[in-house]
Structure 1
C-alpha cells in the first residue's frame, strides 16, 4: 500500500477561482440608516496594562473606525520644569501607518495630527480637576487604528469622526486611570445634507451623503457645557441653521454619553466598587 507524502501539501486536482470579498460593495449597497439613527459603539476600558488608564473604541459596520487611548499619570514633572499649581495635561493623536485608505501614514506626526492633538487637549482640559494634582503631568495618547475613508482632504467626515471618537475614548481612559474629573466628555457629529439641508445625526463617509455642513461638539452632559466646537462647510447663522446643526450634534453626544457611562460603570464594578 502506497504511503501519503507528508512532506508537501498537494494542491487541488482541478482549477480554482480566487475568492472575491464583497464587504465594501455590500456596505455601499446596504440600506442607509435613518437620519436620527446612531451606529452602535463598542467601548472597553483597561486594555493596555502598562498604562495608568486605557480604552478601546470601535464603531459598528459599515464603519471602520477603531482607536485606542492610553493615559499615563499623574506623574511628577521633571526638576527642570517650573512650579505649576495645576497638572499639565497633554494630548497626542496619531494615525497608525496602516489606518487610512491609500498611501501609508508616516511615523512622525504631521501638521494635521498636531492640530487634532491640540483640539483633543482643549476638549479634555475642562473636564479634569487639574488643581488636585499640582506639579504633575497627565499624558493622553490616542492611536487611530482604522479610519473611515481617506483623510487626504482636511475637511472630511473621516477626520471629524476620528476626533470625535478620540475625545470619547480618551475621556473613558482618563476615568479608568482614576483621575478626578468634574464630568466625562463625549463627542458627537451632525450634518446638513442635500439641497434641502436635512439634518443627519452621526453621519459616516460611507453613507454617501452630500454634506453641505457639519458640526462636531465635545460635550459634558452633566454640566451641560460644550468643551469643543468644530464646524465644516457653510452654515447660515442668521437663518438658524448653525444652531440646528449644533443642537443635533449635542443630541448625538448626549446619546453617546450613555455608552461612556456604561463603560466606566463596568470598570468600577470590576474593581469592586467605589471607595466611600
Structure 2
C-alpha cells in the first residue's frame, strides 16, 4: 500500500517544500545554559536538541576511572512533549540507551581523552523537539557543546540523515519521511574526511547506500562551515564584551580554524 503523504512530487519538491538534497534551516545557540562548562542548543528545522558538557572532572565511581584516559559518560533524555505521541521516554528506554551508546562510541575516538587520565567528561543530551533526524541533531549539538567546553578534539563531527524514496536520495529527513523510506545516519570528520558513524535502522540497497554516503560527506562540509562560523562568532562576541577567553572558548584552535 502506498504512502498517503507524497514524499517527493513530480516537480522534485518534498512535502515541506524542500528539494531532494536541501537541508533544513540550522540555528545554533552557544550561550551558556545552567552550570555547564559548555553547551549548545541547535535546531535542524523543527528538531531541537540541547547538549550540556561538564568536565573533565573527577569520576564519581572508581569503576568509571581509567588510568590512561578520560571516561566519556553520555546521558540522553527525551522530553515527553517532544513528539506528538505524548509518550514519556524514561532514561531506561531502549531507544534512548541506544542513542547514548551511539553518541559515546562516536566521540570516544575523536575526543583527546588521553590528555585527561583518571577523569570523566559528562555529556547530557536533551531532545526538546522531534521532527526527524534526531540522532543527526544530537551529534551536531554534542560537537558544538564539547568545543564550547574547551574539550580538545581531533576534528568536528558533522552528522546528516539520508534516505532513498524510490530511486531518489534525500537528506535531513523529517519524521514523515523517516516513517516512509529507508534511511541511514552518517557522521563525518570534515578535516580528514573520515566516516566515524554509520547507523541504519532500515534496509538500504548497497548501490543506494554508497550514493547516500557520498551525499552525506558533501552535506557534512556545509554543516561544518555553519558550525565553525557559530563557534568563531561566539568567541568574537566574548572578546568584544571584554570577557576572557576561557577553556570553554579556546577549544583547540586546530578544530575551530581548519
Question: TM-score normalised by the shorter chain: which range applies?
Answer: 0.7 to 0.9
What residue is the counterpart of 1:46 in the other structure?
31
* Cα distance change on mapping 1:79 and 1:90 into 2, 3 Å: closer
Counterpart pick for 2:71 among 88, 110, 118: 88
Deviation at 1:253, TM superposition (A): 2.1
Normalising to structure 2: TM-score of the pair? 0.81
* Cα distance change on mapping 1:70 and 1:117 into 2, 3 Å: same
What residue is the counterpart of 2:50 in the other structure?
68
What residue is the counterpart of 1:223 in the other structure?
192
Counterpart pick for 1:179 among 151, 155, 166: 151
Q: Give the total of aligned pairs.
A: 229
Give the match's secondary structure for 1:233. coil
Does the CA contact (< 8 Å) of 1:216 and 1:246 recur in 2? Answer: no
What residue is the counterpart of 2:223 in the other structure?
256
Normalising to structure 1: TM-score of the pair? 0.76
The whole-number CA distance in structure 2 between the counterparts of 1:42 and 1:121 is: 24
What residue is the counterpart of 2:80 in the other structure?
97
Where structure 1 has 5 or more consecutive residues not aligned to the other structure, the ranges are: 1-28, 149-157
What residue is the counterpart of 2:209 in the other structure?
242
Give the match's secondary structure for 1:260. helix
The whole-number CA distance in structure 2 between the counterparts of 1:124 and 1:79 is: 21
Deviation at 1:43, TM superposition (A): 0.9
More helix by share: 2
Deviation at 1:114, TM superposition (A): 0.4
Does the CA contact (< 8 Å) of 2:66 and 2:119 recur in 1? Answer: no
Where structure 2 has 5 or more consecutive residues not aligned to the other structure, the ranges are: 1-13, 240-244, 254-258
What residue is the counterpart of 2:5 in the other structure?
none
The whole-number CA distance in structure 1 between the counterparts of 2:41 and 2:60 is: 30
